[in-house]
Amino acid sequence: MRVGVLTGGGDGPGLNAVIRAVTKSLIRHCSAQVVGIEDGFAGLQEGRVRQLDWRAVSGLIHLGGTVLGTSNRRNPLMEGEAGAQRVLESAQALGLDAVVAIGGDGTMAIAQALAARGLAVVGVPKTIDNDIVGCERSFGFDTAVAVATEALERLQTTGQAHGRVMILETMGRDAGWIALEAGIAGAADVILLPEIAYDVQAVAAVCRERESRQRFTVICVAEGAHARDAGVVVQEVLPGRDEPVRLGGVAHVLAAQLQPLLDSEVRATVLGHVQRGGAPTAFDRVLATRYGNEVANLVWRGEFGRMVTLQGGELTSVALQAVAAGRRCIPAEHPLLRCAREIGVSLGEPA
């Protein structure tokens, strides 16, 4: 059996751990020949592969990024039916019996479209935002939360020293999971999420109240958050990308909104890709390894057109077509929202 492994879309801590686990599992299971496909589906279309043997994947578990490279600037489906057919022809020419695609919802949508055309493909969910439908925990999220939590702690000491309002912008374009968990772990006073449009006056009221007592305030804002009365999200449409990209900016927008309402100085920090790079946490290494091992089992059992996932803490799989659409946002009744409110964290809602 010959299996190709690719990573698509944005990177995230733990991709290499998945590559390592799927390769080792397939070699042990059935002495499979495993090849790494370079730069996602673009590389598959162009037939760019290299062999992955035991040695090639040893020592990868802690490495950030992806040794295979990724491409989110070239979706073969944007070239229409001809693009999809070129991928299928290339997979056949490479002698691949199966393809393992590790990536976010965009990658899963491509995988699903190719599965519908006959490609034997299985998926592993990846997003630091933790917002893939059908997956309660993606690897990389824990690492992003840890990085953002540390940043909040650092902002707290400098904010306290100067009596300032410190704003941290985390990633989270459509879903605010990173901001919510890091905000709680990093003791933010205010957490602003894409799911709850914030009220500037309410945020200012928290800062003013703290000006008179603690002198400083820490605000954790997800990049997709926006004010109730203004469309302030900064988006760019980049060539070749099928969805708009947020270039980072809500922290600065919020700083400009708050400064005239406060005595304290306001400072904004955009954490950006620091959350995506570097070594995965131990939790993410374990989760990525479990996903890699389980997806190898899907290949071994011939269960194609599916994505491995975690539900109720157990590994299972879902049909790719169930994954491809939508985002898993924070539900209005989520217990962490209630918990935040009950311990006195403001979610930017009017009093």
Torsion sign, CA atoms 145, 146, 152, 155: negative
Q: Which is nearer to ligand F6P, 98 or 109 (CB)?
A: 109
**Residue 245 binds ligand F6P (CB under 6 A):** yes
Is 172 annotated in some ligand binding site? yes
Residue 249 identity? G
Cα 173 to Cα 247: distance, rounded to the nearest angstrom:
10
Is 223 annotated in some ligand binding site? yes
Is 106 annotated in some ligand binding site? yes
> Catalytic amino acids?
129
Q: Which is nearer to ligand F6P, 77 or 233 (CB)?
A: 233
Q: Are 160 and 222 in contact, with CB atoms under 8 Å apart?
A: no
**Residue 106 binds ligand F6P (CB under 6 A):** no
* Per-residue buried b or exposed e for 113-141, using 16+ beta carbons within 10 Å of the residue's own CB: bbbeeebbbbbbbbbbbbbbbbbebbbbb
What is the closest distance, in whole angstroms, from the C-beta atom of residue 176 to ligand F6P in the complex? 10
**Residue 340 binds ligand F6P (CB under 6 A):** no
Cα 294 to Cα 200: distance, rounded to the nearest angstrom:
46
**Residue 127 binds ligand F6P (CB under 6 A):** yes
Region near ligand F6P per CB under 6 A, out of 169-177, 257-265, 294-302, 319-327:
169-177
C-alpha distances in Å from residue 121, one per residue of 29, 223, 229: 18, 33, 45
**Residue 168 binds ligand F6P (CB under 6 A):** no
Contact pick of 24, 137, 173, 306 for ligand F6P (by CB under 6 A): 173
Site for ligand F6P in 223-242 (CB under 6 A): 223
**Residue 142 binds ligand F6P (CB under 6 A):** no
Is 127 annotated in some ligand binding site? yes
Cα 75 to Cα 242: distance, rounded to the nearest angstrom:
8
Is 162 annotated in some ligand binding site? no
Contact pick of 10, 14, 176, 292 for ligand F6P (by CB under 6 A): 10
Is 166 annotated in some ligand binding site? no
Contacts of 189 (CB under 8 A, 6+ apart): 206, 210, 217, 218, 219, 345, 346
Report the Cα–Cα distance between both ends of the chain, in Å, rounded. 62
Cα 14 to Cα 104: distance, rounded to the nearest angstrom:
13
Contacts of 153 (CB under 8 A, 6+ apart): 186, 187
Region near ligand F6P per CB under 6 A, out of 30-38, 80-88, 167-175, 311-319:
167-175
Q: Which is nearer to ligand F6P, 125 or 172 (CB)?
A: 172
Q: Which is nearer to ligand F6P, 103 or 159 (CB)?
A: 103
Chain positions contacting ligand F6P, by CB under 6 A: 10, 72, 104, 127-129, 171-173, 223, 245-246
Binding-site residue positions for Mg(2+): 105
